[in-house]
Amino acid sequence: MAATETLTAERILEATEEVLRRYGPAKATVVDVARVLGVSHGSVYRHFRTKAALREAVTERWLERTIVALVPYVEAEGPADERLTGWLTALFALKRKKAGGDPELMATFQVLIGENSAVVDRHEEHLVEQIARILEDGHREGLFAAPERDVKATARAVFDATDRFHNPAHAADWSAPDAEDAFTAVVSLVQRALKA
């Protein structure tokens, strides 16, 4: 179907996502992807060297979306402490919505994440950079104390301290009734630590 369109990496990635969504990470095959696209599986291998590379690219695309969704919170108006809380809240809300809205898709995603730790490491770096930018502004505004070491290390500490509220490994805990309170408590702990 739609065999008239040229076969691009982009179209293959979309089809792969659909197949992963439909069959899950264990049963999604390259043959399935090719079938969705109406081509032979050999054609898929023209764009991606291996099945692993294809899955990695999907993972990357997926994570990239989170980064993009958070940009507005990095560039928001207002004092840096509020922006930090806004950013952390947005990240938690985003992850929680995904996990709660489609638990199966989340499970699929978690498998992909487990397979591609290098991609995840780079993703975490990006998130830490977003925190660091807010922290720098806060320091400039006189809201946050000078970091003990460098801003990046502090940003990483903030990221690690809130890990329980964005790491998919903890997705199961996010539906607990006191998850919101626990999140608020950790954020206010972090805010007190940063305060000038």
Interacting residues with DNA (CB under 7 A): 3, 6-7, 26-27, 29-32, 39-43, 45-46, 49-52
Cβ distance to a second copy smaller for residue 7 or 161? 161
CB of 56 to DNA, least distance (A): 11
- List contacts with a second copy (CB under 8 A): 145, 148-149, 153-154, 156-158, 160-164, 167, 169-170, 181-182, 185-186, 188-194
Tell me which long-range contacts 76-82 makes (C-beta under 8 A, separation of at least 24). Answer: 79/138, 79/141, 79/143, 80/134, 80/135, 80/137, 80/138, 80/139, 80/141, 80/143, 80/144, 81/138, 81/143, 81/144, 81/191, 81/194, 81/195
Among DNA, a second copy, none, the one that 190 touches (CB under a kind-dependent 5 to 8 A) is: a second copy
CB of 27 to DNA, least distance (A): 5
Cβ distance to DNA smaller for residue 41 or 61? 41
Among DNA, a second copy, none, the one that 50 touches (CB under a kind-dependent 5 to 8 A) is: DNA
Q: How far apart are CA 29 and CA 26, in angstroms?
A: 8
Q: Supply φ then ψ for residue 52, to 5 degrees.
A: -60, -40
